[in-house]
Chains A and B, each alone.
Chain A
Amino acid sequence: MLAVDLMGETIRALNGSMVAYDGQMTFKRQGITGGEGLRGALRRRVAGEGMTLMEVTGHGTVYLAHEAAEVTLIPLQGDTLYVESESLLALDAGLRTGVQFVGLRGMSSGQGLATTKVEGHGMVAILSDGPAVALEVVPGEPLQVDPHAYVAHRGQLQQDFVTDVNWRTVLGQGSGESVQFRYQGHGVVYVQPAERGGGVLEI
C-alpha cells in the first residue's frame, strides 16, 4: 500500500489502484495516447506493452494498492528506470514514460518483447511479489539475476544472457538455473523474493 500526499500536484497511477483517499481528489483516465504522444501510443500498441494509467490531482492523501503486492519507491534524478508495465504502480507527473524494445530478455521472463522506460526527476513506485531487493552493479562486478525474479533496473547497464546449456539440459537434467541475465556497468537492479512462472525458457 502506498500513501501519497498531494497538495495540488498531479501523479500518474495504475488504473484502478486507488483503494481510499481523503480530501478532494479528481481521477482522470489518461487519453488514448497515455501522455506519450501519438507515436508513443503506436509504439506501445505494436510492442504489446499495455499500460493504463490515470491522473490523480487534488489536496489530501490517496492510498494506492494492487493485489497486496509490496511497493518500492525509487527516486529518479535524471536517470532512466526500466520496468515492466505491470510492475508500475505510480509516478510523479513530471516523469516521462516510453517503450523500450528489449528483445529476448522479456520473452524469457514471460513478459513480452518490450519494457517500459521512465525518465526524468521524481519518484516512481513499483510493485513486486515480496519486498524488492536493490542490488548495485559497479564496473568489474557484474550481477547475475534469475529472469523470473527480475523486477526493474536503472542506470547505465548492459544486459546479456549467461547460459550454460549443455547436453544434460537437453536430457531434462539441467541445473534449473541455466539462463541468467548478466548486468554490467553502473546501476541498480531490483529483484523480488519470488519467481514468476511462465517464461519460454523453463530449463
Chain B
Amino acid sequence: MTTPTYNRVSLPSNDNVNPYVFCVDLNGQWFAQKGKMIAYYGQIRFESLSAGPLDALVAANFHSPLYARDWIVAQGQGKLLLADRGFDVNSYDLTDGNLTIRAGNLLAFEPGLDLKQSIIPGFLTLIGTGRFIAASNGPVHFVEPPVRVDPQALLGWADCPSPCHHYDHSYVRGVLGTAGSLLGIRGTSGEEHQFDFTGEGTVLMQSSEVVRDTETVLRDLEGQIGMLGAGGLQRLQHFIAQRLAVERD
C-alpha cells in the first residue's frame, strides 16, 4: 500500500487526484480563493485582485467587493493542485447556469463564470458557462425541492428560486413572549430553523454541519450597516449593548 507518485505529466488534467485534492490544468487565468493552493508545476503567478493588469478581468467576472480580499488570480501555465482543510473537493460544470454556493466552500472558478454576491448572507452566486471547484465536509448530496434544509448542512443551490427562512411554531411562540425577545431564545433543540426551498432546481447538501463562516456573515452584516441612518445605528447600538450584557451574565 504505497501511494502512487505523480509528476507533471501523470497528474490528472482538470480532475481529482484523490477525493481531497483537485488538479487544474492551467492555461490562462483562474480565480482561486487565497491559501487553497498546495503545490504546482510550471510557470504560475498568483496576483491579488487589486493588481493593475487584472482590472479588465476583475471588471468582467468578479462582482463581490465583500470577498475581493479573499480571492486571487492564478495565471500562467502548469498543473495547479488545490485542497481545503482535508475536505472533499469536487468540480462542477455549469452550462449557461446559475448556481449559488456558500462563500467559504468555493475554491476556484474559470473566468467564463461571473461571480456575484447572493441575497442570502454568506453565499456567492456563479452565473454563466464554465467550471468551478468546491469543497464539502463529506460527500455532496443532491436533492430536489420542495425541501427544508438545515442552514449548516446547506452547500448551495442551482436553478431554483432563493430559499426563505422557515421557523417552527414553538420558536415563533418563544420570540413572541417577552422573555424571549429580551433574553434571546432559550431551551430550543437547535433544529427549529431551516431554509425552505420551493420550485424547480437542485439543492446541494454536505454530509455534516461543519462550516466556517462567522467571518463571512459578519462581513455581510457590516456591508449592510451602510443602509442604516443615524437613528437606525443608534437603535442597533442599543440592541447590541443589551445582547452583550446578557452574554456576559
Contacts and interface: CB of A to CB of B under 8 A. Distances in A.
Given A168-B51, A174-B48, A175-B72, A136 B37 contact: no
Nearest to A169: B48
A11 to B, nearest CB: 16
B39 A149 contact: yes
B5 interface: yes
Nearest to A188: B5
A74 B34 contact: no
B231 to A, nearest CB: 34
A149 B35 CA distance: 10
A195 interface: yes
Nearest to B18: A131
A168 B35 CA distance: 16
A66 to B, nearest CB: 15
Nearest to A134: B5
B181 interface: no
Contacts of A132: 3
Contact of B3 (A134, A145, A149, A194): A134
B45 A195 contact: no
A15 B4 CA distance: 28
Contacts of A178: 46
A141 B11 CA distance: 14
Contact of B20 (A73, A135, A193): A193
B48 A194 contact: no
Contact of A74 (B2, B18, B21, B51): B2
Contacts, number: 110
Given A168-B48, A175-B72, A130 B86 contact: yes
A178 B45 CA distance: 9
Contacts of B46: 164, 175-178
Interface in A157-203: 164, 168, 173-178, 188-189, 191-195
B1 interface: yes
Contact of A191 (B1, B38, B44, B51): B38
A74 B4 CA distance: 10
Nearest to A181: B39
Contact of B39 (A73, A141, A143, A188): A143
B48 A133 contact: no
A130 B50 CA distance: 33
A109 interface: no
A74 B7 CA distance: 17
20 contacts: A130-B20, A133-B3, A133-B6, A133-B18, A133-B39, A134-B4, A134-B5, A135-B7, A135-B39, A141-B41, A144-B44, A168-B50, A173-B69, A175-B34, A191-B81, A193-B20, A193-B21, A193-B84, A194-B20, A194-B83
In the A-B complex, the 10 residue pairs with the smallest Cβ-Cβ separation, listed nearest first, are A176-B34, A193-B83, A130-B86, A149-B38, A193-B20, A175-B46, A136-B7, A194-B86, A177-B46, A134-B5
Interface of B: 1-8, 11, 17-18, 20-21, 34-41, 44-48, 50-51, 69, 72, 81, 83-86, 89
Interface of A: 72-75, 129-136, 138, 141-146, 148-149, 164, 168, 173-178, 188-189, 191-195
